[in-house]
Amino acid sequence: MTENIPVSSPSSEENACELNFVNTTKCLETGRFVVAISLKMFVESLGECFDQAKSRFISLERKLLKRSAT
């Protein structure tokens, strides 16, 4: 017995995702994939998360320096 599964056309969002994948992904001869990461143009547009990330990075850096000194 086979099941009939309805097939619908992709939505505009799905088409945009597919286009983004095609434009940002390539497969190397080794079989590995290379994916370009989209970055925001202006750091200011990150808002408060930049300051929070910087603070966490500095804290982690201090922790690792302490660990390597012992």
**Mean pLDDT split into 10-residue runs, the chain, 70 residues:** 84 92 93 84 68 91 88
CA separation for the pair 45, 43 (Å, rounded): 5
User: Which residues are CB-neighbours of 25 under 8 A, at least 6 positions away?
Assistant: 33, 34, 35, 36
Task: Take residue 33 and report the two structure tokens written for it.
Answer: 């994939």
> Would you say the C-alpha torsion 9, 12, 14, 15 has a positive or negative sign?
positive
pLDDT of residue 5: 82
What is the pTM for the complete model shown? 0.43
pLDDT of residue 44: 64
pLDDT of residue 42: 66
pLDDT of residue 12: 92
